[in-house]
Amino acid sequence: MAENKQIPAQYDVNAKWDACLDLGIRRFVYSSVGGAFAGLLLFRTPVTRWASVAFGAGLGIGSAYSECSTKFDGTSKKVEGLTSI
């Protein structure tokens, strides 16, 4: 009989891919909707409205990529603040 072995969370690649795919889709959609809303409020021409949608989508994909890369690397890169002189 096959035993039910639990895979530790840090080694479960399928769970990481599922989480990253979910995060990427959600951030892409939410950022695109935010860009469309901002484009409707701020711009008059269709070209600039579509550019704001594309910019929002790029922000969403970029933020999802950076978070997923830290999930797969297993390290958390913290940026230290600037010290006052």
* pLDDT digit string, tens, across residues 19-73: 899 999 999 999 999 999 999 999 999 999 999 999 999 999 999 999 999 888 8
- Taking residues 7-22, what's their average pLDDT? 78
Do the domain assignments include residue 66?
Answer: yes
The residue behind tokens 């711009």 is 43
Q: Is residue 17 part of a domain?
A: no
Q: Which of 14, 19, 13, 10 is nearest to 64 (CA)?
A: 19
Q: Which residues contact 48 (CB under 8 A, 6 or more apart)?
A: 39
Average of per-residue pLDDT across 5-30 = 83
Q: Is residue 33 part of a domain?
A: yes
Compute and round to an integer the Cα radius of gyration of the chain.
Answer: 19
Instruction: Classify residue 10 as left (phi > 0), alpha (psi -120 to 50) or beta.
Output: alpha
Q: What pLDDT shows up at residue 85?
A: 56
pLDDT score recorded for residue 25: 95
Report d(CA 47, CA 54) in Å as an integer: 11
Residue 35: give the domain boundaries. 26-71
Residue 82 in domain: no
pLDDT higher than 80, residue 2 = no
Residue 7's pLDDT is what?
Answer: 66
